[in-house]
Chain A
């Protein structure tokens, strides 16, 4: 298995910092927007339609995962292209 070179480690760290910034922004937006607007609706759903809540819960967590992965992958591609140009 190849050992990472200094350049590779630096690039990985750089990517990590960029991802960290994106995620931090995302978390802040998430707290203020999504959780604020969805919070009450989810509470009501959990009380009144527990099965629908269960399905929505899974869809929400998968949706967030796919979105986060897509955002960071896209961003990393964009940054890499920017470096090579």
Chain B
């Protein structure tokens, strides 16, 4: 099938399947899945600028479906999502400006690659250790016949003491988030959102791989709520990204619409699946995602072939 906006010939079934896979990941983990969509679109000959812009447009649609489903499951903190969207957009703008600075300095590829490898590996190692510790502690409690301190969507984390220490920084204004069950400084929320946006603008994609863990470990939001709220927040920030890319001529909306038909069903499946997994298990299953991201960057560095 020929897509006239980007002048690309792509099999629509391929787009639907890729959309489905990314949809499942997005619905389950609250990530955009750009690290798969970008290379997948590039693999069929789409220009890099179109791959980035079109992927963002499809992320908007997928996040709408997944966030609606998560909202029905009680996994979305609208207040937190709206506050975070402001910080994310600001961060994305700064990230995009940083790219320009490194472009002018002539070392953008090396800097972006090095930062992303360190970041992806760091997140993976940290999350393996934390989830492992949390699950081991839960097993020990179970063996000792003690009940879990958490119930329902409340979460357990081996990092709780650090989260509590961070929450002691009571810099006003303090924001109460009844849905997430935390009272926290607005600046801390903005900081997390800004960092997520910064990496989104700097490394591309939605940066869910950094925002979702940050919401859990820094803001103390339960994992299920972090996934749902992240998706809601992505609707706003990805819409903004889609608009800015579209006016630069980087969005083939026809491709995004076809991809989204697969993503929509995948996102619902992913969102529903979160009901059957505890927070630490979702976090442990999340670990391969940044590792795949790191592997793609290392491959690009070693071969010089951009996926």
Real complex partners, A and B? yes
- A residues with a Cβ closer than 8 A to B are 1-4, 12, 16, 19-20, 23, 26-27, 30-31, 34-35, 38-40, 42-43, 46, 50-51, 53-58, 60-62, 64-66, 68-69, 72
- B residues with a Cβ closer than 8 A to A are 1, 4-5, 12, 16, 57-58, 60-62, 64-65, 68-69, 239, 242-243, 246-247, 249, 251, 253-254, 256-258, 260-262, 264-265, 268-269, 272, 275-278, 281
Q: A61-B61, A65-B62, A68-B261 are in contact. Are A54 and B5 (CB under 8 A)?
A: no
Can you name the residue of chain B whose Cβ is closest to the Cβ of A66? B64
Distance in angstroms from B148 CB to nearest chain A CB is 10
Pair B261/A72 contact, Cβ less than 8 Å: no
Q: A1-B278, A42-B5, A54-B242 are in contact. Are A68 and B60 (CB under 8 A)?
A: no
Q: Can you list 29 A-B contacts with CB-CB less than 8 angstroms, sorted by A residue number? A: A1-B275, A1-B276, A1-B278, A4-B276, A12-B272, A16-B269, A31-B258, A42-B5, A42-B253, A53-B253, A55-B243, A57-B242, A57-B253, A58-B243, A60-B257, A61-B57, A61-B60, A61-B256, A61-B257, A62-B60, A62-B61, A62-B64, A64-B260, A64-B261, A64-B264, A65-B260, A66-B68, A68-B65, A69-B69
Give Cα distance in the complex from A39 to B69, angstroms: 30
Q: A27-B261, A65-B64 are in contact. Are A39 and B243 (CB under 8 A)?
A: no
Give Cα distance in the complex from A43 to B258, angstroms: 16
Give Cα distance in the complex from A72 to B278, angstroms: 26
Pair A30/B261 contact, Cβ less than 8 Å: yes
Pair B268/A35 contact, Cβ less than 8 Å: no
Q: Contacts A54-B251, A64-B61, A68-B261 known; list 9 others, CB within 8 Å.
A: A23-B261, A39-B254, A56-B253, A61-B260, A65-B61, A65-B62, A65-B68, A69-B64, A72-B265
Give Cα distance in the complex from A46 to B253, angstroms: 10
Q: A57-B256, A65-B264, A68-B65 are in contact. Are A51 and B276 (CB under 8 A)?
A: no
